[in-house]
Amino acid sequence: MSRVREVLAGEGDFGPGSERVAWRRILALVVLAGIVHGAAMGSLGFRPRAIAYGAIKLPMLLVGATILCLPNLWVVCALLGLRAEFGATVRGILCAQAALAITAASLAPVVVFVVLAGATYPFALLANVGVLALAAVAAQRTLRRHARALVERAPRVRIALAAWFVLHAFTSTKLGWVLRPFVGDPALPAEFLRAERWADDPFANLFWTAVGLVAQVVSRLAD
């Protein structure tokens, strides 16, 4: 628990002033917290296989998207003359990912409660999107804490972080779409991937899911 507190508070090896990147411990926190929330995401219908798939795939998403984007971050830092700041920038990003995973894991009981309350698939899906959105806010606050000292030394770090944010957001969304389903529909078989629809647009799918949820609410109110 002390490591969790240090990540969230930005202290010790996980603080902006640290001289090294404790990437092994950060990775362990991301994976463990990802397993907890991933299992909660797959709990709709309480199917053991779906729960196991969720516990495996959420850490894959969190770690995989970061690994895919790190080479581009190194190139951007090199182009901006920020090679000396690269390690500290990576530490801030990894701590932000750990904060995201820890925050999501802390909200896993809420997700399970929503499922126990009889949530439909669209509502469970949007509830999990809301949880991850709150976790993303925690991640951004953590990254801002680490970036403050970096920006004071080298204002161009803002450009590198902006490039990271755009690329990572796009990569995470697309990779999450490839790895779906995380919140499995109980009406469908539990499966690890839905390979037949990789080319679909995740943003459009989320929009129509929201439309379907609103339509359900309006229909119930009308009754």
pLDDT tens digits, residue range 78-113? 999 999 999 999 999 999 999 999 999 999 999 999
Task: Kindly report which listed range (45-49, 75-79, 194-198) carries the lowest average pLDDT score.
Answer: 194-198
Q: Are 80 and 160 in contact (CB under 8 A)?
A: yes
Tell which wins on pLDDT, 14 or 31. Answer: 31
Radius of gyration for the alpha carbons in the chain, expressed in angstroms and rounded:
19
Number of domains in the chain: 1
pLDDT band at 203 (very low <50, low <70, confident <90, very high): low
The answer on pLDDT for 216 being more than 70 is no
For the residues of 13-47, what is the DSSP string, one character each? GGSTT-SS--HHHHHHHHHHHHHHHHHHHTTTT--
Name the residue range of residue 108's domain: 2-222
pLDDT tens digits, residue range 42-68? 999 999 999 999 999 999 999 999 999
Phi/psi of residue 137, each to 5°? Answer: -65, -45
d(CA 6, CA 48): 33
pLDDT tens digits, residue range 149-175? 899 989 999 999 999 999 998 899 888
